[in-house]
Amino acid sequence: MNIKERLVAAIENGTVIDHIPAEKTYQVASLLKLHELTEPITIGSNYPSGKLGKKGIIKVSDKFFTEEEISRLSVVAPNVVLSIIRNYEVTEKKTVETPDKLKGIIRCNNPKCITNNEPMSTIFRVVNKELGTVRCHYCDKEQDIKTVDLV
Protein backbone atom coordinates (compact mmCIF):
# COMPACT_ATOMS: atom_id res chain seq x y z
CA MET A 1 0.00 0.00 0.00
CA ASN A 2 1.54 3.32 -1.05
CA ILE A 3 1.45 6.49 0.99
CA LYS A 4 -1.49 7.97 -0.91
CA GLU A 5 -3.67 4.92 -0.47
CA ARG A 6 -2.89 4.86 3.20
CA LEU A 7 -3.87 8.47 3.54
CA VAL A 8 -7.12 7.96 1.63
CA ALA A 9 -8.01 4.85 3.51
CA ALA A 10 -7.49 6.49 6.84
CA ILE A 11 -11.07 7.75 7.21
CA GLU A 12 -14.21 5.70 7.37
CA ASN A 13 -16.57 8.19 5.72
CA GLY A 14 -15.93 11.64 4.31
CA THR A 15 -13.87 13.46 1.71
CA VAL A 16 -10.18 13.45 0.84
CA ILE A 17 -8.92 16.39 -1.16
CA ASP A 18 -5.74 15.50 -2.98
CA HIS A 19 -3.34 17.12 -5.46
CA ILE A 20 -3.46 20.50 -3.75
CA PRO A 21 -0.41 22.61 -4.64
CA ALA A 22 1.40 22.71 -1.28
CA GLU A 23 1.36 26.51 -1.02
CA LYS A 24 -2.42 26.55 -1.58
CA THR A 25 -3.29 24.03 1.12
CA TYR A 26 -4.43 26.57 3.71
CA GLN A 27 -6.30 28.66 1.14
CA VAL A 28 -8.26 25.55 0.17
CA ALA A 29 -9.03 24.97 3.84
CA SER A 30 -10.19 28.56 4.15
CA LEU A 31 -12.34 28.47 0.99
CA LEU A 32 -14.10 25.35 2.24
CA LYS A 33 -14.59 27.06 5.62
CA LEU A 34 -13.11 24.06 7.42
CA HIS A 35 -12.61 26.17 10.54
CA GLU A 36 -16.39 26.20 10.93
CA LEU A 37 -16.70 22.41 10.93
CA THR A 38 -16.88 20.26 14.04
CA GLU A 39 -15.96 16.98 12.32
CA PRO A 40 -12.40 15.59 12.58
CA ILE A 41 -10.11 17.20 9.98
CA THR A 42 -6.54 16.36 8.99
CA ILE A 43 -4.55 18.88 7.02
CA GLY A 44 -1.28 17.66 5.55
CA SER A 45 1.15 19.67 3.53
CA ASN A 46 4.49 19.33 1.76
CA TYR A 47 4.00 15.68 0.87
CA PRO A 48 6.20 14.61 -2.06
CA SER A 49 4.35 14.60 -5.38
CA GLY A 50 5.49 13.45 -8.80
CA LYS A 51 3.42 16.09 -10.62
CA LEU A 52 3.53 19.01 -8.21
CA GLY A 53 6.84 18.54 -6.43
CA LYS A 54 5.10 19.11 -3.12
CA LYS A 55 1.41 18.77 -2.44
CA GLY A 56 -1.17 19.10 0.25
CA ILE A 57 -3.87 16.63 1.30
CA ILE A 58 -6.93 17.38 3.40
CA LYS A 59 -9.12 14.73 4.96
CA VAL A 60 -12.51 15.62 6.41
CA SER A 61 -14.53 12.96 8.17
CA ASP A 62 -18.30 12.70 7.66
CA LYS A 63 -18.40 15.68 5.32
CA PHE A 64 -19.49 15.66 1.67
CA PHE A 65 -19.08 19.02 -0.06
CA THR A 66 -21.71 20.49 -2.38
CA GLU A 67 -20.94 21.29 -6.02
CA GLU A 68 -21.05 24.99 -5.13
CA GLU A 69 -18.50 24.52 -2.37
CA ILE A 70 -16.25 22.50 -4.67
CA SER A 71 -16.49 25.08 -7.47
CA ARG A 72 -14.99 27.67 -5.10
CA LEU A 73 -11.72 25.78 -5.30
CA SER A 74 -11.39 26.60 -9.01
CA VAL A 75 -9.97 29.97 -8.00
CA VAL A 76 -6.89 28.63 -6.22
CA ALA A 77 -6.56 24.96 -7.05
CA PRO A 78 -8.46 23.96 -10.19
CA ASN A 79 -6.71 20.59 -10.51
CA VAL A 80 -7.49 19.11 -7.10
CA VAL A 81 -9.23 15.76 -6.88
CA LEU A 82 -11.85 14.99 -4.25
CA SER A 83 -12.29 11.38 -3.25
CA ILE A 84 -15.58 10.48 -1.63
CA ILE A 85 -14.99 7.81 1.00
CA ARG A 86 -17.66 5.47 2.27
CA ASN A 87 -16.78 2.62 4.57
CA TYR A 88 -13.04 3.10 3.94
CA GLU A 89 -13.51 2.79 0.16
CA VAL A 90 -13.23 5.44 -2.51
CA THR A 91 -16.72 5.41 -4.00
CA GLU A 92 -16.42 8.46 -6.25
CA LYS A 93 -13.79 10.91 -7.51
CA LYS A 94 -14.70 14.48 -8.27
CA THR A 95 -12.76 17.19 -10.09
CA VAL A 96 -13.33 20.91 -9.85
CA GLU A 97 -15.60 22.55 -12.44
CA THR A 98 -15.01 26.25 -12.97
CA PRO A 99 -18.40 27.91 -12.47
CA ASP A 100 -19.83 30.65 -14.74
CA LYS A 101 -20.11 33.03 -11.81
CA LEU A 102 -18.01 33.58 -8.67
CA LYS A 103 -19.91 35.20 -5.83
CA GLY A 104 -18.14 36.50 -2.73
CA ILE A 105 -14.95 34.54 -3.36
CA ILE A 106 -12.40 36.94 -4.87
CA ARG A 107 -11.62 40.64 -4.61
CA CYS A 108 -11.64 43.04 -7.55
CA ASN A 109 -8.21 44.37 -8.53
CA ASN A 110 -9.64 47.79 -9.32
CA PRO A 111 -9.29 50.05 -6.25
CA LYS A 112 -11.96 52.35 -7.70
CA CYS A 113 -14.51 49.53 -7.95
CA ILE A 114 -17.59 49.86 -5.73
CA THR A 115 -16.88 46.42 -4.24
CA ASN A 116 -13.70 47.84 -2.65
CA ASN A 117 -15.52 50.86 -1.30
CA GLU A 118 -18.75 49.47 0.12
CA PRO A 119 -19.48 46.58 2.52
CA MET A 120 -20.85 44.23 -0.14
CA SER A 121 -20.25 40.93 -1.88
CA THR A 122 -18.27 40.69 -5.13
CA ILE A 123 -19.62 39.02 -8.26
CA PHE A 124 -17.45 37.95 -11.18
CA ARG A 125 -18.41 36.35 -14.48
CA VAL A 126 -15.91 33.82 -15.79
CA VAL A 127 -15.40 34.94 -19.40
CA ASN A 128 -12.69 32.45 -20.37
CA LYS A 129 -12.37 29.26 -18.35
CA GLU A 130 -9.23 28.09 -20.14
CA LEU A 131 -7.32 31.34 -19.69
CA GLY A 132 -8.87 32.00 -16.28
CA THR A 133 -10.21 35.43 -17.24
CA VAL A 134 -12.90 36.90 -15.00
CA ARG A 135 -14.87 40.14 -15.33
CA CYS A 136 -16.17 42.16 -12.40
CA HIS A 137 -19.96 42.45 -12.56
CA TYR A 138 -19.76 46.02 -11.20
CA CYS A 139 -16.79 47.79 -12.82
CA ASP A 140 -16.43 45.42 -15.83
CA LYS A 141 -12.68 45.21 -15.33
CA GLU A 142 -11.32 41.98 -16.76
CA GLN A 143 -8.64 40.30 -14.68
CA ASP A 144 -6.55 37.17 -14.57
CA ILE A 145 -7.78 34.85 -11.86
CA LYS A 146 -4.16 34.15 -10.88
CA THR A 147 -3.66 37.80 -9.93
CA VAL A 148 -6.70 38.28 -7.70
CA ASP A 149 -6.86 38.01 -3.92
CA LEU A 150 -9.38 35.95 -2.01
CA VAL A 151 -12.02 37.83 -0.04
Partner 1 sequence: MFIKNFCYLRTQILHLAQISSMEKQNFVTIADLSKDEILYLISMAQEFEKHPNREILKGKVVATLFFEPSTRTRLSFETAANRLGARVIGFADPKITSGTKGETLKDTILMVSNYADVIAMRHYIEGAAQYASEVAPIPIINAGDGAHMHPSQCLLDLYSIYKTQGTLENLNIYLVGDLKYGRTVHSLITAMRHFNPTFHFVAPKELAMPQEYKIYCREHNIKYIEHTEFNEDVISDADIIYMTRVQKERFSDLIEYERVKNVYILNKAMLCKSKDNMKILHPLPRVNEIAYDVDDDPHAYYIQQAQNGLYAREAIFCRCLGITLDDIKNDKTIIN
Residue type at 39 in one-letter notation: E
CB 62, CB 39: distance < 8 Å: yes
Return the number of the residue (67 or 142) whose C-beta is nearest partner 1: 142
Among 82, 105, 113, 148, binds partner 1 (CB under 8 A): 113
CB 120, CB 41: distance < 8 Å: no
- Please state, as a whole number, how many other Cβ atoms lie within 10 Å of the Cβ of residue 40: 12
In whole angstroms, how far apart are CA 92 and each of 13, 55, 81, 104?
Answer: 12, 21, 10, 28
Return the number of the residue (84 or 139) whose C-beta is nearest partner 1: 139
140 binds partner 1 (CB under 8 A): yes
Among 136, 143, 145, 148, binds partner 1 (CB under 8 A): 136
Among 114, 131, 150, 151, binds partner 1 (CB under 8 A): 114
139 binds partner 1 (CB under 8 A): yes
Write down the least CB distance from residue 125 to partner 1, Å. Answer: 13
Coil/strand/helix, residue 128: strand
- Stretch of 45-53, 78-86, 98-106, 114-122 contacting partner 1, by CB under 8 A: 114-122
36 binds partner 1 (CB under 8 A): no
End-to-end CA distance of the chain: 40
CB 14, CB 7: distance < 8 Å: no
Q: Which chain residues interact with partner 1 by CB under 8 A?
A: 110, 112-115, 117-120, 136-142
